Amino acid sequence: MRFFCVIFLLIISIIEIGPVPISPLFFIWIVLFRPEWFYELVQKIYRKN
């Protein structure tokens, strides 16, 4: 799971080099729509083992 998160963040970082900032738009979308996959991801990250 961490591998996919790192890959996603790398892709976002590469896209950010362009003239249009992508990450603020992406995070606004997450805050507005609260997708289920994001909630599950946060639960997996903060779950105690």
Give the domain range for residue 24: 2-46
Per-residue confidence (pLDDT) for residue 25, from 0 to 100: 82
Count of domains in the chain?
Answer: 1
6-45: buried (b, 16+ CB within 10 Å) or exposed (e) per residue? eeeeeeeeeeeeeeeeeeeeeeeeeeeeeeeeeeeeeeee
Per-residue confidence (pLDDT) for residue 23, from 0 to 100: 80
Per-residue pLDDT tens over the stretch 1-49: 678 878 888 888 888 887 778 888 888 888 889 899 889 988 988 987 6
Per-residue confidence (pLDDT) for residue 49, from 0 to 100: 61
Per-residue confidence (pLDDT) for residue 36, from 0 to 100: 93
The pTM of this model reads 0.54
